[in-house]
Structure 1
Amino acid sequence: MFAAPTKKAKRLLAVSASLAESLPASLTETGRAVAKANAFAGEAGQILLLPDGSGADALLGIGNAADPFAFGDASKVLPEGEWAVEGDLGDIDPTMAMVAFGAGAYQFTRYKKASRAPARLAAISGGDADEARRVVRSIWLARDLVNTPAGDMDPAALQKAAEALGKEFGAKLRATVGDDLLAENYGMIHAVGRAAQCPPRLIELEWGDAKHPRLAIVGKGITFDSGGLDIKPASGMRLMKKDMGGAANALALARLIMDAKLPVRLHLLIAAAENAISGNAFRPGDILTSRLGLTVEIENTDAEGRLVLGDALAKAAENEPDLILDFATLTGAARVALGPELAPFYTEDDTLAQHLSEGGTQVADPVWRMPLWDGYDKQIDGTISDLKNMGDAGFAGSITAALFLRRFIAGRRWCHFDIFAWNPKDRPGRPAGGEMLGSRAAWAALKTLYGN
């Protein structure tokens, strides 16, 4: 992927909308005539195959908006084989153009064979092919994990995915499983997952030099969410295989960190459980004791993600990390506020927020800062317990969920992402299904904070 171009590579000429009328001088009269006859206007993502003797083998429109995802559908539209990009990319970063091309080449083939092989792209001059490769591989990892049905992606399978990642990069892995969670005071993870056939677990991966700043990444790994005894309707349950999308994004970000050898001491924590229903399922009104010692009254068993994250965040904070990032498909309220394409995040660190916003713009992974509004904090105070797991029904659900999580971080620098991790429909380079969302923006920010 993204190797140096060979002599066999076909020529893909990038053309902006502003230049499409005149077309590059490298095109022959034949090429110009074919472009004119096919009304080629250089619109972003527009592809036109050219006959021999045209001065190029295909044209790719890149528009005028500096959007690298103009390259997003090229891998499945261009004929199979190797392609080399020529022409002026304008303000499109060549590394991001490769990422967009590679992201568009993704196919989920675990249960159905691909109809064709994607086209291959040679390294683009001026771009970082190594960075593009590692980002694309991490995108594919996140998508594969989210797309896999819960029958094949239970907590044990999620642990195997973490073990494979640890083995690849020489990281150490530890899992606390089943009733051992109670022995180590992870009462909320245990309660959420105890009704499922596959026992819940906290998966921890450690990597890097102890002398480097400690970075904790926490992922919500609810491998299927029935809603528990407060059961979801069928329409709300259909996509709940993706409720481990936070864990998938955390694993994908960890992969980037280890592959790039970012100088941090990484502590990855995945709180993995299936929120199932059986005779021993936790109940509305139950009071759970968290690892931090705080008691939590259950208002609704379908607000389970914040429970498992609370225990994992408490553990992460014990090691006094320089920064904690958590990723979770946590609330429907976040989708109502920002939709499926924009990842909301919460932090009280203005500098970190700026790095995340700028990083999201840089890598075409847009994020939006949301308020940790203290005025709503009392909503999660308990009456017969320290906390309850929901605020006032119907209002500010994403904010009160973030405020709940804030109770478990012991004042550490922290950022919470409430992501969707799913594309409802095909977009260039972003096929329908599981997605790496928000965590690419986080990667850009981490390189700024901790880069060599």
Structure 2
Amino acid sequence: MVPYQYIERPSPFSTKGGKTLPVFAVTPAHVETGTLDPLALDWARKAGFKAEAGAVLLVPGDDGHLAGALFGLGANPSENPFITGKLARSLPAGDWHIETAPLTANRLLLGYGLGSYSFDFYRKARVTEPHLLIPQDADAADIKRQLAGVFLARDLINMPANDMTPADIEAAARALAGHYKADIQVISGDELLESNFPLIHAVGRASAVAPRLVDMRWGKKGHPKLTLVGKGVSFDTGGLDIKPSSSMLLMKKDMGGAANVLGLALMIMDAKLKVDLRVLIPAVENAISGNAFRPGDVYRSRKGLTVQIDNTDAEGRLVLADALTFADEEQPDLLIDMATLTGAARVALGPDVPPFFTDDEELAHQLFDASLETDDPLWRLPLHKGYERLLKTLIADLTNAPSGGMAGSITAALFLKRFVSTGRRWVHLDVFGWSQSERPHAPVGGEAQGIRALYRYLRQTY
């Protein structure tokens, strides 16, 4: 089993109070007008340093030893809010501090920390790394908890499916629960049928590793009820409607919703927010065997609605349907679900901007504001009632895969909405969970999406 802290990595920050080398974070205007340290300025001009975004120039002292570094922010630092992530991969080993920067201490440290991440579970880790001194005006504790949540999500997504089965997802949740003294219960295998979770069982029964529903609770009764639901499909073959190999290659990330809600739960618990927290993760593998669920099958969900299976590759909404129904039965004050649900969301908004869906106008505005404040992009898409007709089928209440291929992210959200009571404060996030190209704050690989924005909103609210 894989505990959530399975990858030991050194802190990217320095706590030493002794001598540290300076980093001068500058824009092209600083170089042009000469408004920086004279020694660094002279060296920058001699070296032709233009302060392009992410550029690093090491500066020698009079004695020939390393005296500091120049770091380019580009002409408009606001366009690259986490550009300091490049520093974590560019500076030589040692202890450093930021001497000047037109960025807040929290922003520059968060960027640096995010950029320090690497996934080294299957290879030799970097031996020496630079360490950045935490300024006194930074909220060090909150930065570290955000990094811990993001790194947890990234780590879990990056683990290949042979080491991140439904049982390993459970183990990660148990380790997190143990660390924060949360309660956890798991319903597994045929117990899912006995406990009335038919859709979770149907999707996961073909796997050699039993499907399960993880139920973690933390907080104080009487505080506002906050429930997080995360899709935990450890690998998605597509089922009998099997994916082509090119589409299956990254399907280890199909538990990205579960990874993200666990990362968010870490932040919530570490910050001791005044909530009655519940985390539900339906953890399954959508595999193929003689007892795999089939196209054309009809199943009665926990809610009682019947669902016709028109595509076994639309399995995420099925396991979420039972989990959302279970969550809804406790009438939470706020219900949030996260899932790597549809390719249509990527067609609409690309891989870096997850859509979210809610009927609550105030919540929608607050989440969007939080996404702007944290540079953790989210964009609202409509729960357009006119598309509900696409969920109809001849012999059941709902189809899991509307025909036609149009508005796929919206129809998936409308499907989930049928399992949440009218009037419930609910938001659904359709995340990609992956960085396709390296960015200053993120390498290629598993990515936390939306959880820093959600944490900002929840911290402001609770």
Partner of 2:70, secondary structure, is strand
User: Could you tell me which residue of structure 1 aligns to residue 347 of structure 2?
Assistant: 336
Residue 5 of structure 2 is matched in structure 1 by: none
Q: 1:193–1:273: 8 Å Cα contact kept in structure 2?
A: yes
Q: Distance in 2 between matches of 1:413 and 1:315?
A: 15
Q: Which residue among 392, 398, 412 is the counterpart of 1:387?
A: 398
Partner letter of residue 59 of structure 1?
L
Does structure 1 residue 81 correspond to structure 2 residue 94? yes
- The answer on whether the counterparts of 2:40 and 2:70 sit within 8 Å (CA) in structure 1 is no
Q: Distance in 1 between matches of 2:107 and 2:362?
A: 24
Aligned to 2:7: none
> Match of 2:83?
70
**Using a 3 Å threshold, how does the CA distance of structure 1 residues 146 and 83 change in structure 2: closer, same or farther?**
same
User: Is 1:103 matched up with 2:131?
Assistant: no
Following superposition, the deviation at residue 33 of structure 1 comes to 2.1
Counterpart among 129, 150, 159 of residue 118 in structure 1: 129
SS in 2 for 1:21: helix
Secondary structure of the structure 2 residue equivalent to 1:20: helix
1:13 aligned residue = 24
Give 1:50's match in structure 2, choosing from 48, 55, 59: 59
Aligned positions of 1:27-426 closer than 5 A:
27-28=37-38, 30-53=39-62, 57-63=68-74, 64-66=76-78, 67-89=80-102, 92-411=103-422, 412-426=424-438
Unpaired segments ≥5 residues, structure 2: 1-10
Mapped partners of 1:257, 1:96: distance in 2: 20
Q: 1:23 to 1:216 in 2, by over 3 A?
A: farther
Is 1:440 aligned with 2:452?
yes
| Higher mean C-alpha deviation, range 7-16 or range 424-433 | 7-16
Alpha-carbon distance, 1:327 to partner: 0.6
State the TM-score, normalizing by the size of structure 1.
Answer: 0.96
Q: Deviation per CA, 1:353-394: give whole Å up to 9, x if none.
A: 111111111111111111110000121123211111022331
Q: Would the aligned equivalents of 2:204 and 2:284 in 1 still touch at CA under 8 Å?
A: yes
Shift of 1:50: 0.5
**Deviation string, structure 1 residues 11-33 (Cα, Å, up to 9, x no partner):** 112212332312434x13x3222
Deviations 1:369-428 (A, max 9, x none): 111100001211232111110223310000000000000111211110101000111111
CA distance in structure 2 between the partners assigned to 1:255 and 1:5 by the alignment: 27
Tell me which moved more, 187-196 or 391-400.
391-400
**Aligned partners of 2:182 and 2:229: how far apart in 1?**
16
Cα displacement string for residues 31-88 of structure 1 (whole angstroms, at most 9, x for unaligned residues): 2221012322233222111002499601122232323311011111001122111213
Q: CA offsets, 1:73-124, max 9 Å, x none? A: 11110011221112132xx332122111111111111111124433111113
Which amino acid counterpart does residue 446 of structure 1 have in structure 2?
L
Distance 1:23 1:254, change over 3 A: farther
Q: What is the distance in 2 between the residues matched to 1:379 and 1:279?
A: 31
CA distance in 2, matches of 1:144, 1:23: 43
The CA RMSD measured in Å over matched residues stands at 1.5
Unmatched tracts of structure 1, length 5 or more: none
2:318 aligned counterpart, secondary structure: helix
The residue type equivalent to 2:193 in the other structure is: L
Distance of 2:262 and 2:29 partners within structure 1: 41
Query: Matches of 1:8 and 1:164 in 2, distance apart?
Result: 38
Q: Is the 8 A contact 2:189 2:211 kept in 1?
A: yes
Distance 1:313 1:93 in 2: 39
Q: Which amino acid aligns with 1:129?
A: A
User: C-alpha deviations, 1:292-315, integer Å up to 9, x for none?
Assistant: 111100010000000001111111
SS at match of 1:69: coil
Q: Judge conservation of contact 2:14–2:95 (CA < 8 Å) in 1.
A: no
TM-score normalised over the length of structure 2? 0.94
Is the 1:96–1:132 Cα contact (8 Å) retained in structure 2?
no
What letter matches 1:432 in structure 2? V
Per-residue CA deviations over 1:172-212 (Å, capped at 9, x if unaligned) read 00110010000111100000000000000000110001111
Supply the distance in 1 between the matched residues of 2:255 and 2:193 (Cα, whole angstroms).
Answer: 22
